[in-house]
Structure 1
Amino acid sequence: MDKNNNRFLLIIILGLLSAIGAFSIDTYLSGFPIMASDLHVSVDDVSYSLSSFFVGISIGQMLYGPLLDRFGRKKPLIVGLVIYVLASMGCAVSTSLEMLVVFRFLQALGGCVGMVTPRAIVRDTFPIQESAKIFSTLILILGVSPIIAPSVGSLMITTMGWHSVFWLQAIIGVVLFLAVLFLLAESKKADDSISLKPEHVTKVFWGIARNPQFITFSVAGSLVSGAIYAYLSGSPFVFMEIFKVSEQQYGIIFGVLAGGLILSSQINNLALRRFSSQQIINVALSIQTILGLLLLTLSAFNLLNLYGTLILIFLFLCCQGFSFPNSSALALMPFSKEAGSASALMGSLQMAIGSLSAAMVGFISNGTSLPMLGVMAGCASLGLIVFKIGNNNIVAKNK
């Protein structure tokens, strides 16, 4: 197999691994009403299974980071995928909300290895200047999930019941396990010099967290990601309960809106030929903040119908396709030996803010779209502020 084919296969596997978290979310969102009825709880209560998933991802990535640096990339990846498969089966046989919430946490604890490892492998394998472009390509693969997963999930839920989507996730986990085992080359050898003692791990994470470039771009990127998770948490209620779209229509809407993220991530590759990552992030976050505030204001005065909401959210998600790959590349740029831990800390921060955003939407729920849109606008605004302050300080120190 030549170098180009190896590169193509690597990117495909990394993209599919990166999508495991999104696929685990997107396939069951349209089933919230049916799940609520079957489990004898409210739709808002079912969203706790989403929040527990985010918490599991946040905690799990912190555990995998040091393991990836100590044992290489493949072994922790294989173990995590095994946990994911078993937990998916647990979700499939759940008979209560509490049981589902626990298994969703364990599913995330295993599956998050597929989210943190690709970032570390990109840092291992590709030159620094190529990282943002590779992350944009991974988003292209990742973006297939929200386009096809809701429709697949909706079809399975209406024909075979909501449990079937978790059996599907288990099967996909097995396929990824085999791909990693037989097709993925190790990008970093085990390093016996890296200690797993709590005090050493804490020292490594603390050193990473104190890096000005890491903290600026990881926090700004995480806040903007929080807006996306607020959307994920609130969109089933907003579209299916407020705007009264069907489960099938919701699946289509979800996929079309996700298309904005895919489209912009590929335009980002072209933009990087003329502009720096910092310049792109600045414009993207500024526009996203304006769109978030516009969505919130117009909705507060009942000036938005379904189509107006869809257009503005589509544009809002487009901005994410520019900010995410560039902020990720810049956050990981200062690290090589500790790329796994840096990737884990960044991913954990993203999911911690994501889980908080998702939970906040449910906590302040008032039967309107304002909680979802308010959290989205707030996250985008805070992301812009963090970027402006942090980037200005970095530029000043480098002069």
Structure 2
Amino acid sequence: MTFPAAVRPPASFVLLLGAMAALPAVTTDLYLPSLPDVARDLETSAALVQATITGVLIGGAVGQILIGPLSDRFGRRAPVLIGISVHIVASLLAAIAPSIIPLLALRVIQGVGNSAAMVSAMAVIRDRYSGAGASVILSRLMLVVGVAPLFAPTVGGLIAHLWGWRANFTVLAILGLILLLVVARALPETHPPERRVARGLAGTARSYGVLLADRQFMALALLPGLGLGALISYVAGSPFVLREGYGLSENAFALLFAINGAGLVLGSQVNASLVRRFEPLKIIRVAIPLAMLLAAVLVVVAATGAGGLVALMTPLWFMLAVNALVPPNASALALTRHGERAGTAAALIGAMQAGVAGVVSPMVGVLGGDAVAMATVILGAVAAAFVVLVVATPAYRRGGETPAGEPA
């Protein structure tokens, strides 16, 4: 059963799905302030340490491709319970990783486990909501997910200061165990047996084939990935840009990270109000060009050094806030096109989101890891999103706002 946007879901329902969706973000952000320390302790390069962020995303992309069809076949609960269990084991092993290569491998495995929580949360939303209603829920979800960038680096920095950076992985295992118990007790099964499809390998391939052949679905599914690519470029680059480039302490970095996280949360909550008045695609077609303009300003400030840290952070804050309007609307529109295979569709959206971000964000390290590199990669990701929006969706065509959310 689906419910219209006017129906407000229980706060506990949103909180539970938000906790599931936030697990990858917490896994990514908790030890961000310690990245330079990890590089020194494991005697490795900044680029390889940044790759531990990418590893979670790549693992998430692969995991979602595998888990999405399983959730359509076996329901939403079983895959997430197994996935969180994988996360717990990988976190405990990461806490004792002897070098960077095992740590990278375990981060990929963490991403695979986390992906089950993300896929299930998205699919549960599509099981109960559609269109603007789904966009509202996804935006409310961002309020919960946004707590991760607000508090995780601060908590992670404190943990690292007291017990070292490895303790952050022990904490991730404990958080996973708590979430596992809560999900086992409280997550409803929204995909009953009579709606499940036992596709098998060939059927799964056909289901993905239907999605891949839908041009608008693929375009809408790509937009959140490019948006996340811009965000993760900031996430992965900021510890080196701000701590080493501007000399910020762990605590100062965590505070600044929280301020920028507030912009992300604010943008998502503004979107929850906007979708009650405007079509989701209308919001996207304004948000992406504005984000591109702010990213261009960010590049100029980074290249010239004018205004110092405050001048750099100002356009970045507004860009993150505006960029937060894109993923929930694009994801909701894409899911609406294929409600009969919501788990598989959510998996492909999530896999593209994690995969594209995983490919884009390492470019910060490749280009030098400084403020100019970070700003350039952010601009490139947002500009690519604008091209996709223009070429492959009806966003700028007369009367084309609503059809993007309708099945092909």
Q: Same fold (TM over 0.5)?
A: yes
More moved, 202-211 vs 283-292? 202-211
More moved, 36-45 vs 142-151? 36-45
Per-residue deviation at 1:5?
10
Q: Is the 8 A contact 1:292 1:377 kept in 2?
A: yes
Match of 2:40 among 37, 41, 48: 37
TM-score, normalised to structure 1's length? 0.95
2:188 is the alignment partner of 1:185: yes
2:343 is the alignment partner of 1:343: no
2:231 alignment partner AA = I
Per-residue deviation at 1:301?
2.5
Per-residue deviation at 1:70?
0.5
Per-residue deviation at 1:127?
4.1
- SS for the counterpart of 1:41 is coil
2:136 alignment partner AA = K
C-alpha distance in structure 2 between counterparts of 1:322 and 1:5, whole Å:
20
2:384 alignment partner AA = L
C-alpha distance in structure 2 between counterparts of 1:384 and 1:39, whole Å:
40
- In the other structure, the counterpart of 2:297 is 294
- SS for the counterpart of 1:186 is coil
- In the other structure, the counterpart of 1:368 is 370
Match of 1:196 among 196, 200, 224: 200
Match of 1:131 among 131, 134, 138: 134
C-alpha distance in structure 1 between counterparts of 2:71 and 2:32, whole Å:
31
Match of 1:66 among 54, 65, 69: 69
- SS for the counterpart of 1:18 is helix
Which 5+ residue runs of structure 2 have no aligned equivalent?
A: none
Where does 1:1-399 land on structure 2 (aligned, <5 Å)? 7-190=10-193, 193-197=197-201, 199-365=202-368, 368-392=370-394
Q: Is the 8 A contact 2:20 2:118 kept in 1?
A: yes
C-alpha distance in structure 2 between counterparts of 1:127 and 1:108, whole Å:
27
C-alpha distance in structure 2 between counterparts of 1:313 and 1:108, whole Å:
27
Per-residue deviation at 1:213?
2.8
TM-score, normalised to structure 2's length? 0.93
C-alpha distance in structure 1 between counterparts of 2:317 and 2:25, whole Å:
18
1:11-65 alpha-carbon deviations (Å, 9 max, x no partner): 1110000000000011101001111121112333211211211110111110101
Q: Is the 8 A contact 1:69 1:337 kept in 2?
A: no
Give the total of aligned pairs. 395
1:18 alignment partner AA = A
- SS for the counterpart of 1:112 is helix
More moved, 51-60 vs 208-217? 208-217
> Could you say what the CA RMSD is over the residues aligned between the two structures, in angstroms?
1.9
1:286 alignment partner AA = P
- SS for the counterpart of 2:27 is helix
Sort the Cα spacing of 1:97 and 1:270 in 2 relative to 1 into closer, same or farther, 3 A.
Answer: same
Q: Is the 8 A contact 1:225 1:350 kept in 2?
A: yes
Sort the Cα spacing of 1:373 and 1:304 in 2 relative to 1 into closer, same or farther, 3 A.
Answer: farther
C-alpha distance in structure 2 between counterparts of 1:68 and 1:304, whole Å:
50
Which 5+ residue runs of structure 1 have no aligned equivalent?
A: none
C-alpha distance in structure 1 between counterparts of 2:343 and 2:210, whole Å:
14
1:16 alignment partner AA = A
- SS for the counterpart of 2:277 is coil
